[in-house]
Amino acid sequence: MPSSMPNETKSYYITTPIYYVNDVPHIGHAYTSLACDMLARFKRLDGFDVRFLTGTDEHGQKVEKAAIAADKSPQEFVDQISKNFRDLATFTKLTNDDFIRTTEPRHIKAAQHLWQMLIDNGHIYLGSYAGWYAVRDEAFYPESELIDGKAPTGAPVEWVTEPSYFFRLSAFQEKLLQFYKEHPQFIAPESRRNEVMRFVEGGLHDLSVSRTSFKWGVPVPGNPDHIMYVWLDALTNYISAIGYPDALQNNYWENSLHVVGKDILRFHAVYWPAFLMAANLPIPQKVFAHGWWTNEGVKMSKSLGNALDPIDLINTYGLDPIRYFLLREIPFGNDGDFSKSSLITRMNSDLANNYGNLVQRVLSFINKVCDAKVPKSGNILPADQALLDSVDLLDTLRRHIDNCALNKVCETLWSAIAEANRYIDEHKPWSLKTSDPIRMNTILYVLAELIRKVAILTQPLVPEASQKILDQLAVSPEHRQFKDLDFALIEGSDLPIPFGVFPRFEEAK
């Protein structure tokens, strides 16, 4: 298969968690969204019909409590905080196709319909709940899971006794285990899959899926004294946004990926497929759980006041550098530490010295010695061809993208950049200006062509800088898809005046 041919499945559905609107967004939220944005951009450039969904989770006790604390009605409160998340999506230039709010009629209708299916299929019964609940996690915990009187996440728990509907989760234990075995790709990374399987093998209790002690939620059809458990309500967003209860749109569900933090994997990999099985709905293709960021070695929290504000960071360092740092610094799936010094090192070495410098020295030299035109290729020697071949990376990158190995995408691209810098040092085009200008032109042509390919491939990662580089090579916006990798620069065409795209970051004294 030629490398520019897209995979056979043309639809691609990618979702972020829908974020709670109890607080302002921080870098952890931006991280998940930017990772999904990279995946969505890559698939679009690769010819897929992409639907990228994000949004806000607006019901539940945690949000109701936050509204009361802010002295606002829940609706007024969620409208305001949801807007902060939407504004962050705009500010971070997310390419999401939709933004769902669980307070929207389309979602409420879908959640109530799903509930009705669970009732009709005999998977929900009325009982009463007496047990521990952690509002911060919006989760029930059996006594056996508590550590020093707290949830395993450290969240405080309270004793809850109230009438409740239950979902027969216990009846799905074997079906889930069977499903995980038959679909080994469903939970990633592998270590997380093992964790989930061990949890399910340990036995599943029926799940309380309604609350009566507060009101802020989706009313249970036929019994509005109850509101739906916020997780049952929230998880439904992934299908309410693609048409449920009508037919799911465009085969999106068949090629769907939920990207979540490791904190909420259990809800996505155990409860969600069980609800879907119970409603006779298909299961999404994959759930990927990424790791947790700390700030200079310390867990970020509201009480410590150390949650990093993505807007401040982007205003200080720029959007592309923040994207690059977050997606490159740690293998996607592992925990990581956000430290200013590592960020600045990445900016100055990988972006400014390696990528930026390659582009800058090649383009400014072409501008000076080739009359600001794409140089003539002339006689391409094996060493030149080897360099051009070294950037035939699309199939490798596709594999990394399908494994959500975002850091490996970065490493692969940066090894091509390093190769090009070595080629310049070896062939020293500036030394040929008078002795062999024809050969100099070939070398510069090869480098410009390599930069074109690299910049097309870096678009999902550092979109703004890549676009600036492609502008400087006069590549028209219609020729920046992966299928355009096999085209070449047009020799002799005019190039604009070059400018730097990755400035070094100097800390203010």
Compute the distance between CA of residue 355 and CA of residue 125 in angstroms, rounded to an integer.
60
Among 63, 135, 279, 300, binds ligand ME8 (CB under 6 A): 300
Least distance in angstroms from the C-beta of 293 to ligand ME8:
4
Is 57 a binding residue for ligand ME8 by CB under 6 A? The answer is: yes
Is 52 a binding residue for ligand ME8 by CB under 6 A? The answer is: no
Contact segment (CB under 6 A) with ligand ME8 among 13-21, 72-80, 440-448, 484-492 equals 13-21
Q: Judged by CB, which is closer to ligand ME8: 63, or 413? A: 63
Q: Which of 134, 126, 128 is nearest to 159 (CA)?
A: 134
CB-based contacts of 84, cutoff 8 Å, min separation 6:
24, 25
- DSSP letters for 224-271: TTSEE-HHHHHHTHHHHTTTTTSPPGGGGGGGEEEEEEGGGHHIIIII
Contact segment (CB under 6 A) with ligand ME8 among 29-37, 43-51, 70-78, 364-372 equals 29-37
Is 19 a binding residue for ligand ME8 by CB under 6 A? The answer is: yes
- DSSP letters for 417-456: HHHHHHHHHHH-GGGGTTT-HHHHHHHHHHHHHHHHHHHH
For the window 250-279, what string marks contact with ligand ME8 as x by the rule CB under 6 A? ----------xx-xx---------------
Q: Judged by CB, which is closer to ligand ME8: 236, or 348? A: 236
CB-based contacts of 270, cutoff 8 Å, min separation 6:
169, 176, 196, 199, 200, 204
Q: Judged by CB, which is closer to ligand ME8: 263, or 419? A: 263
Is 465 a binding residue for ligand ME8 by CB under 6 A? The answer is: no
Least distance in angstroms from the C-beta of 20 to ligand ME8:
4
Least distance in angstroms from the C-beta of 434 to ligand ME8:
56
Contact segment (CB under 6 A) with ligand ME8 among 16-24, 64-72, 186-194, 460-468 equals 16-24
Contact segment (CB under 6 A) with ligand ME8 among 26-34, 173-181, 197-205, 277-285 equals 26-34
Least distance in angstroms from the C-beta of 285 to ligand ME8:
16
Whether 291 and 32 have beta carbons less than 8 Å apart is answered as no
Least distance in angstroms from the C-beta of 90 to ligand ME8:
18
Is 235 a binding residue for ligand ME8 by CB under 6 A? The answer is: yes
Secondary structure class of 132 (helix, strand, coil): strand
Task: Number of helices (H) and strands (E) in the chain: give both, helices first.
Answer: 19, 15
Encoded tokens for 54: 């994000």
Least distance in angstroms from the C-beta of 308 to ligand ME8:
9
Contact segment (CB under 6 A) with ligand ME8 among 28-36, 339-347, 391-399, 498-506 equals 28-36
Whether 255 and 247 have beta carbons less than 8 Å apart is answered as no
Among 13, 14, 29, 92, binds ligand ME8 (CB under 6 A): 29
Q: Judged by CB, which is closer to ligand ME8: 29, or 107? A: 29
Least distance in angstroms from the C-beta of 136 to ligand ME8:
9
User: In what helix (H) or strand (E) does residue 410 lie, and over which residues does it extend?
Assistant: helix 406-427
Compute the distance between CA of residue 196 and CA of residue 192 in angstroms, rounded to an integer.
6
Among 12, 13, 31, 275, binds ligand ME8 (CB under 6 A): 31
Task: Give me the residue whose beta carbon is nearest to ligand ME8.
Answer: 28
Among 12, 13, 14, 18, binds ligand ME8 (CB under 6 A): 18
Contact segment (CB under 6 A) with ligand ME8 among 4-12, 18-26, 139-147, 189-197 equals 18-26
Encoded tokens for 307: 């949650």
Q: Judged by CB, which is closer to ligand ME8: 30, or 359? A: 30
CB-based contacts of 271, cutoff 8 Å, min separation 6:
169, 207, 231, 232, 235
Is 32 a binding residue for ligand ME8 by CB under 6 A? The answer is: yes
CA atoms within 13 A on the CB side of 149: 2
Compute the distance between CA of residue 410 and CA of residue 391 in angstroms, rounded to an integer.
13
Among 20, 216, 252, 365, binds ligand ME8 (CB under 6 A): 20
Cα dihedral 183/184/188/190 (nearest 10):
160
Q: Which of 48, 53, 58, 71 is nearest to 23 (CA)?
A: 58
Compute the distance between CA of residue 376 and CA of residue 336 in angstroms, rounded to an integer.
46
Least distance in angstroms from the C-beta of 15 to ligand ME8:
8
Whether 127 and 51 have beta carbons less than 8 Å apart is answered as no
Encoded tokens for 486: 């096999």
Is 292 a binding residue for ligand ME8 by CB under 6 A? The answer is: yes
Is 104 a binding residue for ligand ME8 by CB under 6 A? The answer is: no
Least distance in angstroms from the C-beta of 158 to ligand ME8:
19
> Could you list the residues that contact ligand ME8 (CB under 6 A)?
17-20, 28-29, 31-32, 57, 234-235, 237, 260-261, 263-264, 292-293, 300
